[in-house]
Structure 1
Amino acid sequence: MTDSKAPRARAADKRRRLTAAAARVLHEQGVERTTLADIARVADVPVGNLYYYFKTKDDLVRAALSEHSRHLDELTVRLDELPDPLDRLKGLVEGWIERRDTAARHGCPTGTLAAELDKRAEGTLDAEAGAVIRRLLDWAGVQFHAAGLADPDGLALTLVSGYQGMSLMANALRDPEVMTREGARLLSWLDSLRTAGS
């Protein structure tokens, strides 16, 4: 007697590997330069099998966006364990600084994807990428609101714009220290809000 769950578990594992590979390769190479074979190779899945899970490159882009969204959820759940909302936001910035080498090589995973997808004439993938960024904005806004600060949505926009800007500049200059310096400015800014809110 065979275990009927084994094939389903293998299929789920392949899909997960393909999704993670899509997120990584699309971030590193961009949508236009990435082939389905690139993603299959990184996922260690025969390229013919890829079509069973994803029919088009757009399906893989959606999977990559889903992976970015999942990572954001995991991150915010961990940060939500911190008792102070401004400490949660500082933890977010510290995480950005820790990934400075990746930002210098490839920029922000979701931001660069959103910018590239916006250049396409057709489809809604740019809006789907924007929705992932919107989730980060909304989470940050909730933290600023919980800290009792005025204009929490505006503060969230300032924070996330700061991240997008420093990621872009680190990538354009190929200088991870941009993330370190600008991240330190964001941390100081968050501390100044704590003092102002007291």
Structure 2
Amino acid sequence: MTDSESAAAVEAPRPSRSGRGGKRERLVNAAVQVFHEQGVEKTTLGDIARVADVPLGNVYYYFKTKDQLVEATVDAHCDQLGTLTAQLDRLPDPAARLEALVAGWVEQRETAARFGCPFGTLATELDKRDDGLGQVAAKVMRALLDWVESQFAQLGRSDAPALAIELVGAYQGMSVLTHTLRDPGLMAAQGERLQSWIDGIAGR
């Protein structure tokens, strides 16, 4: 698979910024964007209403509190992951799916350099709270780990759970470094190393 085919295969689902769709959908899409760019604590419902182009008063019809909107945002990330993995599952073999996943991460390196991993930053922020939202966010990370583990298992690896943690952990680590150093080239270089690592595991 070529780099362009890999990137095309896994272009991550992104919230629409077109303004189309119902008000609730627009609010959730805006929250995904603004929480990523600003963080939950710094974001107000007014910020989200402005990006969604929805009157602030209408926000409370759909979400009584910001925490309810945070939960809806986690659900949106879960839906985006489901869409992505379904797209990846159309590829011919597990190694190609994993390599395409990595290519998709690398494709978002400019965004990662500016704001960090779209979901990892949210999960880290929520984990510092004592209201249980960190556990809500954990279900998305668990779903990603489970899918990656299933790919390694299909490659016949008995250590599939450990390999899944290694791959997802490597991505989160390179996202943090890419963001901290504001260097998208770092993610590109590490992505190539992960591609070679997957090739080695697949016996290519």
- Alignment TM-score > 0.5, same fold: yes
Q: Does 1:139 align with 2:119?
A: no
Q: Does 1:94 align with 2:103?
A: yes
Q: Distance in 1 between matches of 2:189 and 2:71?
A: 33
Which residues of structure 1 form unaligned runs of 5+? 1-11
State which structure, 1 or 2, has the greater radius of gyration over its C-alpha atoms: 1
Q: Distance in 1 between matches of 2:127 and 2:140?
A: 14
Which residues of structure 2 form unaligned runs of 5+? 1-20
Alignment equivalent of 1:111, drawn from 120, 125, 149: 120
Q: Is the 8 A contact 1:141 1:153 kept in 2?
A: yes
Alignment equivalent of 1:154, drawn from 154, 159, 162: 162
Q: Does 1:128 align with 2:130?
A: no
Q: Distance in 2 between matches of 1:64 and 1:22?
A: 7
Give the counterpart letter for 1:127 in structure 2.
Answer: Q
Q: Distance in 1 between matches of 2:185 and 2:69?
A: 32
Runs (4+) off by over 3 Å: none
Larger fraction in helix: 1
Q: Distance in 2 between matches of 1:194 and 1:97?
A: 21
Q: Distance in 2 between matches of 1:13 and 1:67?
A: 15
* Structure 1 residue 127: Cα displacement: 0.9
Give the counterpart letter for 2:104 in structure 1.
Answer: G
1:160-175 alignment to 2 at 5 Å?
160-175=168-183
Equivalence for 2:42: 33
SS at match of 2:22: helix
SS at match of 2:119: helix
> For the aligned residues, what is the CA RMSD?
1.0
Q: Distance in 2 between matches of 1:15 and 1:146?
A: 39
**What TM-score do you get using the length of structure 2 for normalisation?**
0.88
SS at match of 1:109: coil
* Structure 1 residue 89: Cα displacement: 0.5
Q: Is the 8 A contact 1:97 1:183 kept in 2?
A: yes
Q: Is the 8 A contact 1:23 1:63 kept in 2?
A: no
Q: Distance in 2 between matches of 1:179 and 1:78?
A: 23
